[in-house]
Structure 1
């Protein structure tokens, strides 16, 4: 049986049309969307008259027989209950995998609803026996971060929930301010609902007095930005990481990893493979949704430049470890600018340190 996958914004419609499923797997690392997907399941469970709820928090040393006991114990208020299994970033391991697979065999007949919430489940986990067993008798809701190019549209739509109308510049401004932090963006819109006059179209100038800097970045967002050739956003994210106290070795690790991936892709493509084949050959393989970013970077960055950037990254690493004198953050700026298609180097640097001539 094929696994039913539902986007979080379609989950409510899916349940209304298909009814409640015995199992829901909600997995991902975007807190707001994850929370709302789980709330949607809970609301429909309550609407069906299921009042009892067992909450099982998976931590180190979790006893997996608790799941079996919860599923087999009678509800105090009826024949059905909601079982929330909160895994977070924990792996079920061998014991948990067996318990979950065993639960799946009787899930359709038990009358209970299992809501399994977890962090991001990678491809290997999705190929496991327990995941397939559960997903084939239920619904898988994968929570992905909203891409920056869609974020302005998402904020504009979200504002409509609060009775607010943002013009294009205002929604774009909020996208920049709250990238990677949807929860803060939603909270800002909720505050604006209380403070703004209903029915007024909100401009970027009017918005400035109601919002604060709320972006939250990570090194993976930075990689997507420079792979896609977005220079202003790449530098903005790098400065955001610096402001959040992210250490240079972590940023440099992410950069060098992608540099080696691009060099490997170049080699595979030059040997006659298609980009899709080259992406599948990587370990781990590159997801389809990210392959256009790598295609843009390959078109922009020849092998010789990538080798030079990798050597420069090694010099920065040596400086971080105390064996060099390069200005580290200035060096990271230069690398990111060059990767994103900018015209480095920083002119005040000695020629031997420059990334590009």
Structure 2
């Protein structure tokens, strides 16, 4: 049974299932969901707890043994199985399918996984878990949704802020949901319930953003120069390797160029996106970006990427002068604008 994350608390108030699965890359939200299940388990008499982590040396017999072992005190048991890679392997796949078919009435099992890619999500062991378990797939909080998420969290502690304040927090904690949670809690400790002023937020919230080189394309596709500048400066300050940044940007330009060329030939965008395996939030960003960018601009941007590559390698570049990071910024802004 698939269950929306926001419905978990209501579900646990009514019943408790023998098997739960949490799949998410948002560690904070996954932890909060798991904590709700643990609290419900304790309240229902599952007083013992076994934690198993699937690592290279993990033996799947340990899961079977944990499920069959009787409690020394006759209590019910919570078994947590953590699969950090989301890839249990052939033996694990067979073990999970067998486990899902033979759940012990004396145990509650909680399986935690990262967000599965489309290929892994079709595996037989995932299908078995989805059929036997309460399966909670927690989506990532994308940048566009982050101010709303922060506003909801503030409301839960009887506080609120205007859009400027929410955007300010989102800018400072981008890519770091746990830091966002901590900053929101800090505001709850520092200020009384009610409307927070921008000055109160500005003075309290630290710059704890964690920048991801692969999110650069998101800012570039969205045509958001301010965010792009902030991310590049953050990556540079964190010591990110410039060749990796250039590769990520150049790959996005190549993809845009292929899509634009296909559209110029009269091919539908939907078919092109499918052909290049583009889906999800990135798919939704492609159409407005392609409307904004012309074929000559993309061709020139790809040539400029080659010039930036020369600068990174210590060679002279015709298109740019000065620092390679500045050249990288000019290149990315050409696409964002």
- Give the aligned partner of residue 116 of structure 2: 121
Helix, strand or coil at the partner of 1:212: coil
- Give the aligned partner of residue 306 of structure 1: 298
Q: 1:317 aligns with which of 309, 321, 331?
A: 309
Alignment of 1:46-57 (within 5 A): 46-57=42-53
Deviation (angstroms), 1:130: 0.8
Deviations 1:83-136 (A, max 9, x none): 1111112521111111111112213x5453221112221111111111111111
59-68 vs 86-95, greater mean Cα deviation: 86-95
Deviations 1:180-235 (A, max 9, x none): 11211211222222222x23421111222211111112022221111111121121
CA contact (8 A) 1:59 1:90 kept: no
- Give the aligned partner of residue 146 of structure 2: 151
8-17 vs 85-94, greater mean Cα deviation: 8-17
155-164 vs 249-258, greater mean Cα deviation: 155-164
- Give the aligned partner of residue 288 of structure 1: 280
How high is the TM-score relative to the length of structure 2? 0.91
Alignment of 1:30-179 (within 5 A): 30-78=26-74, 80-89=76-85, 91-107=87-103, 110-179=105-174
CA 1:30–1:324 in structure 2 vs 1: closer, same or farther (change >3 Å)? farther
Deviation (angstroms), 1:248: 0.9
Residue 10, structure 1, aligned to residue 12, structure 2: no
Stretches of structure 1 lacking an aligned partner (at least 5 in a row): 342-357
CA contact (8 A) 1:71 1:110 kept: no
CA contact (8 A) 1:180 1:216 kept: yes
Deviation (angstroms), 1:56: 0.2
Deviation (angstroms), 1:270: 4.0
Q: 1:274 aligns with which of 250, 268, 273?
A: 268
98-107 vs 156-165, greater mean Cα deviation: 156-165
288-297 vs 269-278, greater mean Cα deviation: 269-278
- Whole-angstrom CA distance in 1 between matches of 2:280 and 2:205: 35
Helix, strand or coil at the partner of 2:83: strand
CA contact (8 A) 1:28 1:118 kept: yes
How high is the TM-score relative to the length of structure 1? 0.86
Deviation (angstroms), 1:260: 2.1
Helix, strand or coil at the partner of 2:203: coil
- Give the aligned partner of residue 182 of structure 1: 177
- Give the aligned partner of residue 351 of structure 1: none
- Give the aligned partner of residue 258 of structure 1: 252
Helix, strand or coil at the partner of 1:117: strand
- Whole-angstrom CA distance in 2 between matches of 1:121 and 1:228: 25
Equivalenced residue count is 333
- Whole-angstrom CA distance in 2 between matches of 1:54 and 1:271: 59
- Whole-angstrom CA distance in 2 between matches of 1:80 and 1:200: 44
Residue 242, structure 1, aligned to residue 236, structure 2: yes
Deviations 1:69-89 (A, max 9, x none): 111222334464221111112
CA 1:200–1:129 in structure 2 vs 1: closer, same or farther (change >3 Å)? closer
- Whole-angstrom CA distance in 2 between matches of 1:22 and 1:267: 53
